[in-house]
Amino acid sequence: MDDLAALIARVMDERGWTLTTLARRSGVSTSTIHSWKSGDRATGSRGPSPALLRKFAEGAGLTVAEVFEAAGRTIPAPMDDESERRFLHLFRSLDTEDRKVVEATMQAMSERQKS
């Protein structure tokens, strides 16, 4: 298993890409990828954001699971379109205060999975 820095180096080596090429293809800034590659994963208080990791995976031609594993993040469980639609429908039906409660609960659950 690669860590994130090794994964980036491997992708660049295998494809003959520069850091700039990898950044352009993935839509993640060169400085962010450089910080990941140099081992400074603290590009936020909790490390690489899931959204950036997903963009990086797509641009690098890797699976989300491979990138999340390399970054030491919990691999997101797949969600089919129908489940996502139902979830969003229920979430949108809540008032503002209840949405805040749901968001805080989900944040706490996400944080618990990281430890």
> Does the pLDDT of residue 1 top 70, yes or no?
no
User: What's the whole-number average pLDDT of the chain?
Assistant: 88
113: pLDDT confidence band, cut at 50, 70 and 90? low
pLDDT (tens digit, 9 = 90+) per residue, 70-99?
998 888 777 888 999 999 999 999 999 999
Q: Is the pTM higher than 0.75?
A: no
**DSSP for 57-114?**
HHHHT--HHHHHHHTTPPPPPP--HHHHHHHHHHHHTS-HHHHHHHHHHHHHHHHHHH
